[in-house]
Amino acid sequence: MQLLYMNRAIELAKMGIGFVNPDPLVGVIVVKNGKIIAEGYHKGYGRFAAEVEAFNNAIEEVNGADIYINLEPDAEVIIAKGIRKVYIGMLHPKGKGRNVEIMRGAGIEVEVDILREECEELNEISIQYLSEGKPFVFTKWAMTLDGKLASKTGDSKWISGEESLRFVHHLRQRVAAIMVGENTVRLDDPLLTTRLEGVNISNPIRVILSRYGDIAMEAKVLKVDKYTKTIVIASNNISWEREKLLRERGVEVLKLKETNRRIDFNDIVQALGTRGIDSLYIEGGSEVLASAFEAGVVNKVYAAIAPKIIGGKNAVTPVGGSGIEKMRDAIVLKRVTHEIVGSEVIFKGYL
Ligand SMILES: NC(=O)c1ccc[n+]([C@@H]2O[C@H](COP(=O)([O-])OP(=O)(O)OC[C@H]3O[C@@H](n4cnc5c(N)ncnc54)[C@H](OP(=O)(O)O)[C@@H]3O)[C@@H](O)[C@H]2O)c1
C-alpha cells in the first residue's frame, strides 16, 4: 500500500509540470483509517506548498492522519496539523533531513526513502538547482540510423515521427528554457514552443546562441509575447545596432565574454541560473551540442534514433566540434535505459 500511495503522490506532483520551476514538484495524499481523505500538489511557483493544498482540500479532520509526500515537507505545518505518521520519498536537497529531525522530535513517526529513485528523477532539476544554483541541462536530438542530425543540405524535418515529437513537447513543458544555435534558426526557423493537447501549456524561454545576433528579423523565435519570451545569448562584441534591433523586438540580449569564437557554456549556465532558470533543454544543432559537452555542463541525454538512412559524409552528426582522438576519452553515459516510441528508440542516460 505504501508504494501505491507514494506512486499516487508522484502522479499528483506531475500535475505541476510546467508551472512550478524553480520550485520542486510535490504531491501529497492524506490517509486516515485506511481511506484517502485529501490530495494536493504544488500548483505553481510562489503558490501554496503541496501539503497546505492537501490539508485545505481535506474532507475530514486531518488530525491523526498519515501523509505520503514525495519530498521532505515543512515540519511546522505537519506538526500544527497533528499528523501521526509521514512517509517521505526523498529528503529536501536544501535542508537534507532537518525537517525530519524536527518532526521526529515532536513525536511524529517518519519513514524516508520510499520510491526514492523515482522521486529523485522526478525532481532532478530541483536537486541540482537548489544545491548548485545552476540549471539542470538536458539534451535531446533525433538522428537517423546512420547517425545524422540532418541531410547534407541541412534538412531535418522530419527525422522523427509524431509520437517522438510528442516526447519533445513534454520535455519543453517540463523545462524553464530551451536552446538552439543560430544555424538551426536559419535552417529550420523553429517556433520552440510547447504544443500538447489536453493540458495547460507552458512555453519555455527560448534561448538562441548567436554571437553577433545574425538572426533574420522575420524568424519565428523573434516573435515575442507575454507567453513566449526569447533571450539571445550574444558576445560582448555584438554591434549596438543589432542589439538595439533585437531589444526593440522585445528580445532580451544577454552579453557574455567570447573566447576563440565561442561563448563558454559554463558562463552561459551561470548566467541563466542567476536569472532563476533551473533547467535548460539544448535541442541542437551540432555545434551548440559539441560546445555544451566540451564544457561539461550536460546532465542528461535523450537521443531518438529513427529507422531512416540518409548518408552523406558531410551531413551533420549530433555532436560536432573537433572531437576526441581516442576512445578511452569518450564521454560514457551512466544509468542508461531506452524506450520504444513509435518506430524509434529513445535512448536515455546521465553524465
Ligand atoms: N535532428 C535534430 O534533433 C536537430 C535539432 C536541432 C538542429 N538540427 C539541425 O542541425 C543543423 C544546425 O546545426 P549546426 O551545428 O550547423 O549549427 P547550430 O549548432 O544550430 O548553430 C551554431 C552557431 O551557434 C553560434 N554559437 C554561439 N556561441 C556558441 C557556442 N558557445 N557554441 C556553439 N555555437 C555557438 C555560432 O554562430 P556564431 O559564430 O555566428 O555566433 C555557431 O555557428 C541544422 O541542419 C538543423 O536542422 C537537428
Query: Which of 144, 167, 184, 189 is the pocket-test mutation for ligand 1 (most atoms within 8 Å of CB)?
Result: 184
pLDDT of residue 95: 86
* CATH code assigned to 133-350: 3.40.430.10
Q: So where are the chain's domains? A: 2-123, 133-350
pLDDT value, residue 51: 94
Percent above pLDDT 70 for the chain: 100
pLDDT(218) > 90: yes
> pTM for this structure?
0.96
Chain segment 124-169, per-residue pLDDT in tens: 999 999 999 999 999 999 999 999 999 999 999 999 999 999 999 9
Distance from the alpha carbon of residue 152 to the mean position of ligand 1, in angstroms: 14
- Which CATH number is 2-123 given? 3.40.140.10
Whether the Cβ atoms of residue 16 and residue 41 lie closer than 8 Å to each other: yes
Tell me what the mean pLDDT of segment 198-220 comes to: 96
- The whole-number pLDDT of residue 199 equals 86
Closest CA to 6 of 116, 124, 120, 121: 116
- Rounded to the nearest angstrom, the distance between the alpha carbon of 105 and the centre of ligand 1 is 55
Write down the pLDDT at residue 161. Answer: 94
- To the nearest whole number, what is the mean pLDDT of the chain? 96
Could you confirm whether 120 is annotated as catalytic?
no
For the CA of 143, the closest atom of ligand 1 is 1
pLDDT of 306 reads 98
Residues 310-338 pLDDT 10s: 999 999 999 999 999 999 999 999 999 99
> Looking at the predicted structure, is the pLDDT value of residue 257 above 90?
yes
**Residue 184 CA to ligand 1 centre (angstroms):** 5
Burial 130-145 (b: 16+ CB within 10 A, else e): beeebbbbbbbbbbbe
Helix 286-295 vs helix 265-274: angle between axes, to the nearest 10 degrees?
90
Ligand 1: which residue has its CA nearest to atom 10? 285
Residue 46 pLDDT greater than 90, yes or no = no
Q: Which atom of ligand 1 approaches the CA of 265 most closely?
A: 31
State yes or no: pLDDT of 198 exceeds 90: no
- Spot the catalytic one: 11, 39, 51, 283: 51
* Distance separating alpha carbons of residues 134 and 129, to the nearest angstrom: 5
284 burial level (CB within 10 Å; 0-12, 13-18, 19+): buried
Three-state secondary-structure class, residue 267: helix
Q: Ligand 1 centroid to 107 CA: how many Å?
A: 57
Asked if 129 and 289 touch (Cβ cutoff 8 Å), the reply is no
Distance of CA 346 to the CA centre of its chain: 17
pLDDT of the residue at 284: 92
